[in-house]
Every structure is written in structure tokens, then in C-alpha cells.
Structure 1
Amino acid sequence: MNPPLPITPEEDPVQVVDEWLKEATQKGIQRHPNSMTLATVNTSGQPSARVVLLKDLSVNKGFGVFYTHYGSKKGIDISSNSTVSAVMHWDQLGKQVRLEGEAVRSPAKESNEYFMTRPWHSQLNAWVSEQSKSLANPIDLVRRAKDKARDLKLPDPTDIAFNGLDLNKSCIPRPPFWGGYRLWFAAIELWTEGAGRFHNRIRYERTLSPIDAYTFQASDWKSGYLQP
């Protein structure tokens, strides 16, 4: 059972998120300790949620980064309503983080740098899959992957002999329709499991003011306890 959250809340909740994420990673409690459920809302007010991976966390600036196809369901939602929320839950640690804020596209340079670290199969898939679009037959996607692999002078992606091959990733450029989003945190709620269902909750809030297409200026965090 986790001890109660500190009587005096930490000044920076992002630092706590970073510490909890590192703890979950080091203890190996789940395959993807950096997974988070991301919720978006479309123009009709219909919410959608899906799991994405938090690939970077800027403790100093207060944002997290995830990657996706910009034409996906989540990408389309964000283009019309950039206010999103996310949840990270580590059941075996008895800890949870709720995140709320604004999602904006990452600078192209950052998306390019991350794309170069991906396995070539993942890079190829980013070119081929029109994420969230309907698919008449899965074989069609395989066929497109094989065709694109030939265009890029890559091995046949269905050939198991090449599955573990470490190719020169720089030969595969990042698709312009694929990249990162920065989730700038406007609110963070920290939750720890307590004895007798007396769980511990602290909510932090701050105001975000846009500086440019990628960056926000943030006020100081204000915090308070919530009843479980």
C-alpha cells in the first residue's frame, strides 16, 4: 500500500510523473509502462479514447510527446479540438496520473529525429497504413507494404529472414502525414491507493498561453486535495 501523498504538495507535478514513470519502468511491472489512454473529442462532441505511448516527457517545460498518423481519428479530432486528456495507470504500484491540456504538433525536426530511431518495419508501416481508414481486406495492406518496400529498396517485409535486420534507417524518410504531438499539461491529478479506500488525490492546475505553433507559456501551478 502506498503512503499518503505529501501533506504539502510538490511544487512541480511533472517531476512526480517522471519519477513514477521511471519507477514503473525499472520495476518492469508491465510491457509498456509508458502507455496512456488518450481521449479526444470530435466536432459533434463525441469522445474517443485509445492507448498511445508516451515517448518523451519534458519535465522542465511541462509536456509529453506521443506519435501518430496526422490523418488518424485522433489527429482529425485534435485538428478541430486541441483540448485532450489522458490517463496513466500502474495497477501494481497503486498509482495513477490524469493529464489534461492542449495537443499541438511537434516541430518537424523532433519528429524526424524520433522517426530515425524506429525499426524499419515500423517506418515502412507509417508510409503504408492510412490509420483509422476502412480496409476491405488485410491482404491489401500487405500488398501495399510490399510495393512501398520495393520503391524504397527495402527487403520484402513479409520475409521472416529480414525481420531482425538492422537496416540503415536514414534511407527511409518520415512521411509528412506522420509525426509527434506535444501534450502541454494544463492540469495534472496524482492518485495513490490508500488503505480502506481512503485514496489520496491532488489536483494541479495552471494557465497556458500560446507563444507559437509548438510552445506555450505557463503560469505557476496551483494545487489542492480532492476527496476520493
Structure 2
Amino acid sequence: MEKKLSDIRTDFIKGGLERDDLSPDPLTQIQQWVEQAVSARVDEPTAMLLSTVDQQGIPDARVVLLKGIEDGLIFYTNYESVKGQQLAQNANVSVVFFWPQLERQIRLRGVAEKLLPAASDVYFASRPRESQLGAWASPQSSSIESYEWLEKNYFFYVDRFQQTDAIPRPPYWGGYRVTPLSVEFWQGRPGRMHQRYRYARNEAEAWQINVLAP
């Protein structure tokens, strides 16, 4: 007999997180946890669930990849995609990292803004050529007539840039920086006595760490 969903339980036993072990800065703490996830070779250590809000105020979520931590969390996408259009209307976002192998989660609320074009140019130039061509070929989030059409469009750009050593960045593609307003770190513990710490700005705009009940 298949197990009922309500009967599935996991006890978290792998680690602990003490208040004194936290960095004063949440971005530094995120950097440490991401590096530990990479070192532990967890699946997709840089995957983060990015939630935006549409014009009706309905949340919309998808997984993107963290590409840097520089005064915020950096990711790249098509500006004309659904997420890009939503960010143009409402820059407030939430981000979630979850590493089940480490029994850890990060929840972040913040504001997204476009990177300067020069920064997006640098990252685009570092991408594999196939990914650069894909950025030109795919009208991300738009309805297309078929995947055969998409493949044909891809090879159109293969031919277009055949004699080009450095493919330029499409003007509709680039990076965002998510500047945190609050960040919560969650460490699983036995008996559901999980440890939760939330960073938030105090009146002096300094980061204050609060301990939260699980």
C-alpha cells in the first residue's frame, strides 16, 4: 500500500545553528551557506525560488540560479519574460533556498533592480556560446507555434553570428540584484525544535537578529 502523504515525516538531525555563530551581515551568512552547499555537493546548490507579484497581486514563483552575491543576490533573465514584466510593475520579491541534504532553508524578502548594462555584458560574455544563442532565439514566456519553430529560430541566430567571435548581449536580456529587506535562516532540528533566526533592519538601519519560534 502506498504511504499516505499525511504519514510522511522526516526528523532533522544533521546540525545546529547557534546565535553566536551567525555573521552580523546576512549576505555574508548566505555566502557561507551557499559555499557549504556547494562543498557538500548537494543537488543544484545555487537554485533559488524567486517569487514575484502580478498586476492582480497574485504571487508567481519559479526557480532561477544565483550567479553572484554583490550587495545583494544576482540572477539573470530575459527582461521581457513574465518575471521581467512583473518586476517592472512591482520590484518586491521573495527568495527561498532549500537544501534538504543539509536540512537548511533561507527565506528572503527584498527589492529587485536591474544591473548596469556593463555588468550584464560581462556575465553574458562568460556564458557558453550555445546559451548565448539561446538567449537570442527564445522569446521567453511568449507563446510559440511549436518547438520546431524555436529550433529553426535558434539556427537562424547560429547563421547570423557564424562569423562573430563575440556574440553581443541581447538588449532584452540581463541581470537583477535583489537587495534584502529581511532574511531568515532555518536549521532543522530533532522533534521539530527547529532553529530560526531573522535579520531585519532596526531604526538605525543596522541589521538586528531575532530568534523565532519554530
Pair 1:96 & 2:100 matched: no
State how 1:70-81 maps to structure 2 within 5 Å.
Answer: 70-81=79-90
Deviation at residue 6 of structure 1 after TM alignment: 2.1
Quote the residue 1:225 is aligned against. Answer: 211
Quote the residue 1:142 is aligned against. Answer: 151
Quote the residue 1:180 is aligned against. Answer: 175
Cα gap change, 1:15/1:54 in structure 2, threshold over 3 Å: closer, same or farther?
Answer: same
State the SS of the aligned residue for 1:93.
coil
State the SS of the aligned residue for 1:96.
strand
Deviation at residue 152 of structure 1 after TM alignment: 1.0
Confirm or deny: 8 A CA contact 2:22 2:29 kept in the other structure. Answer: no
Quote the residue 1:42 is aligned against. Answer: 54
Given candidates 2, 7, 12, the residue that maps to 2:25 is 12
TM-score by structure 2 length? 0.89
State the SS of the aligned residue for 2:184.
strand
Quote the residue 2:9 is aligned against. Answer: none
State the SS of the aligned residue for 2:36.
helix
Given candidates 11, 16, 19, the residue that maps to 1:3 is 16
Structure 2 spans left out of the alignment, 5+ residues: 1-13
Amino acid in the other structure paired with 1:142: E
Confirm or deny: 8 A CA contact 1:86 1:99 kept in the other structure. Answer: yes
Deviation at residue 10 of structure 1 after TM alignment: 3.6
- What's the % identity of the aligned pairs? 38
Quote the residue 2:8 is aligned against. Answer: none
Confirm or deny: 8 A CA contact 1:4 1:194 kept in the other structure. Answer: no
Amino acid in the other structure paired with 2:211: Y
TM-score by structure 1 length? 0.84
State how 1:1-228 maps to structure 2 within 5 Å.
Answer: 1-6=14-19, 10-30=23-43, 32-58=44-70, 61=71, 63-153=72-162, 168=165, 171-206=166-201, 219-228=205-214
User: How many pairs align?
Assistant: 200
Quote the Cα distance in structure 1 between the aligned partners of 2:96 and 2:109: 9
